[in-house]
Structure 1
Amino acid sequence: MWEYQHTAETVATPETVWRLWADVPGWRSWNAEIEKVEIDGPFAVGSQITMTPPDDEPILLKLTQVEENALFVDQMDAGDFTVTTVHRIEPLGDGRSRIVYRTEIDGPAADQVGPQLGPAITSDFPETVAALVRLAEAR
């Protein structure tokens, strides 16, 4: 298994961050690595998100866990490996929260695929989370 985690603290409320996460078409306003993004239903377990990075093929993600104002998990199933990303908001007290992005690559091909694909997927997490925090704190 390959794994990576990035965290950032914010004074934005979990509800504010959640509204930005649940607005899938709006992800482009804080994630520069998305050229196009669509969801095939509500922001709920079972819905599929099609995310297209700039100059790349669309990526199909399935929402596997959704807990309002707390977390959502998306998963890409590539057959011999899966990429699972957990997006979590942890209240810290004193009006602060921690945003956590955690990606795991698992499955029979994870040891071969993870070291190359993992950093390609997660390299923008610091910038993406920072942009999410800036937007959430401005609201």
Structure 2
Amino acid sequence: MTRRRKVVLSIAGALVGLVALLAFLGSVRDTHIVTVTRSTDACRDAMWDLWADVPARTEWDKGLDYIELDEPFEAGATGTVKVQGQDPIAYEVVEVVPQERYTDRFKSLPWTHTDWHHTIEPNDQGGYDVTWRLEARGPLSILTLPITTSIFGAEVPGAVDEFVGLAESRC
């Protein structure tokens, strides 16, 4: 075997090893993508009602063509979401604590899921902090981190601002 071939095989082996390590790390820990928090004087009921009325989310999440839920808004419910320019994907509501928080899970990549955590917490100013936190887990989560951070880092703040503005107008 030539020296050049040995070098190429060594580099290829190192790259495969690096990808395997990143895939392993992505499978055993959550990969943070973006967190957005806004303080608001909106009433908790208005915010919760906006989240629970799943098909109407297109009012404040302008990046959605549609979002459907096949069952009542509770843990275990499943649905489909269509983001502009993408194919529809399935999701599941994995946690619901009414008036406080919910999480939905999207399986858009092989063996990888993305969790959207949404919370409403009282703040020191007498209002609430509403937070969206996006995390991924799975072998592709670390590998796709730059892409997902770029996409969602740009889109989520606007959706949260629209959400808060609409909630404030309803109180």
The alignment's TM-score, normalised by the length of structure 2, stands at 0.76
* Equivalent position of 1:86 in the other structure: 117
* 2:19 alignment partner in structure 1: none
Please tell me whether the aligned partners of residues 77 and 92 of structure 2 are also in contact (alpha carbons under 8 angstroms): yes
- Name 1:53's counterpart in structure 2: 83
Identity %: 27
Partners of 2:79 and 2:101 in 1: how far apart?
A: 16
Give the counterpart letter for 2:137 in structure 1: D
Partner of 1:125, secondary structure, is: helix
CA distance in structure 1 between the aligned counterparts of 2:54 and 2:153, rounded to whole angstroms: 19
- Asked if 1:120 is matched to 2:146, the reply is no
How many residues are matched?
Answer: 139
Whether 1:31 aligns to 2:61 is: yes
Q: CA deviation at 1:47?
A: 0.7
Matched position secondary structure for 1:42: coil
SS at match of 1:110: coil
* Letter aligned with residue 89 of structure 2: I
Please give the alpha-carbon distance, in whole angstroms, between the structure 1 residues aligned to 2:154 and 2:124: 29
Residues 33 and 148, structure 2, Cα contact 8 Å, conserved in 1? no
* CA distance 1:103–1:128, change in 2 (3 Å): same
- 1:13-24 equivalences in 2 (<5 Å): 13-24=43-54
Which amino acid in the other structure matches residue 123 of structure 2?
L
Greater strand percent: which structure? 1
Opposite residue 66 of structure 2, the aligned amino acid is K
Moved more, 117-126 or 67-76: 117-126
Q: Which residue of 2 aligns with 1:108?
A: 139
- Determine if contact 1:12/1:136 at 8 Å carries over to the other structure: yes
Q: 1:43/1:54 Cα in 2 relative to 1: closer, same or farther (>3 Å)?
A: same
SS in 1 for 2:38: strand
Identify, as 1 or 2, the structure richer in helix: 2
> How far apart are the structure 2 equivalents of 1:116 and 1:29?
26
- Asked which structure has the greater CA Rg, the reply is 2
